Structure 1
Amino acid sequence: MTVPSSRTRPASIGPAAPPRAVVVSAAFDVVLVVVFAAIGRASHGEDVWGGLAVTAWPFVVALVLGWLVVRAWRAPDAPVRTGLAVWAVTVAGGMVLRAVSGQGVQVAFIIVAAVVLLLFLVGRRALTRLIARVGRR
């Protein structure tokens, strides 16, 4: 049995993406979740800025949890490997946090949130991949 040297990472951990790519990807995710909350507030005629933090925090906390559970820093822009898992944790966790904090979790809202966050969290990763591939050509 070989022991990894202090200069290499164990294969089970896998290489991390460059720090800049991780920060940019995480920032995009947070911005998109906040945009989702702002769109929701605006579509219901609510003051966007007055209650944005209240609406967004459950999903932002769940997003961070998703990043940790998935170890998204290893492949932050992978649509399937990272995007789908982060999306699932963000939607499920966000709904649980909304429910325990006394915010609404109607079926229609769950469906809309799931679809919009799928487009935002997975779609932006797919678009990032497509742009990177085109740029390499």
Structure 2
Amino acid sequence: MNKRLPVLAVDIVLVVVFCAIGRRSHDEANALAGLATTAWPFLGGLAAGWLANEALYRNKSLPASVVPAGVIIWLSTVVVGMILRVIGGQGTAFSFIIVATSVLAVFLLGWRAIYATVMKRSAAA
């Protein structure tokens, strides 16, 4: 099995969870359609990040690594996601940009850091 697919799946789930939390915190209706509307720009940014990482570091950077893969994927998810939100007529208030950047950093970099720590401890044992 391709080792990248589980990593991509974790990233997708975390981006969707981020969007679901945001929608829930604002009591927004239309659960599935609304979630799709909120998530597509960030999923597009995530795809751009994955493509950029593959183009720049094919076979040199594991997608589960924090640096450079995690940073590229996180920044692309935020930047491209915000651009796509503007194109799609969605809001990009400064406070939202700060929250999205912070939460996506915790999600997309955090799980990679935890994974790296677990793998190091497993290797040492």
Higher helix share: 2
The answer as to whether partners of 1:25 and 1:77 remain within 8 angstroms in 2 is yes
Q: What is the alpha-carbon distance in structure 2 between the residues aligned to residue 64 and residue 94 of structure 1? A: 10
Distance in 2 (alpha carbons) for counterparts of 1:45 and 1:76 = 34
Identity of aligned residues (%): 44
Provide the C-alpha distance between the structure 1 equivalents of 2:78 and 2:58, rounded to a whole number of angstroms.
Answer: 19
| CA apart distance, 1:50 | 4.1
Q: Superposition pairs for residues 1-137 of structure 1, below 5 Å?
A: 19=2, 21-47=3-29, 48-71=31-54, 74=59, 75-136=62-123, 137=125
SS for the counterpart of 1:105 is coil
1:22, 1:73 within 8 Å by CA — same for their partners in 2?
A: no
TM-score (norm 2): 0.89
Which stretches in structure 2 are left out of the alignment for 5+ residues?
none
The amino acid that maps onto 1:23 is L
Could you list the runs of 5+ residues in structure 1 that have no partner in the other structure? 1-17
Q: Deviations over 1:21-67 (max 9, x none)?
A: 21000000000000000000001111343410000000001101110
Q: Is the 8 A contact 1:67 1:73 kept in 2?
A: no
Distance 1:104 1:50 in 2: 17
RMSD of the alignment, in Å? 1.4
Aligned partners of 2:5 and 2:71: how far apart in 1?
19
TM-score normalised according to structure 1 size? 0.82
CA 1:23–1:89: 2 relative to 1, 3 Å: same
Moved over 2 A (4+): 47-50
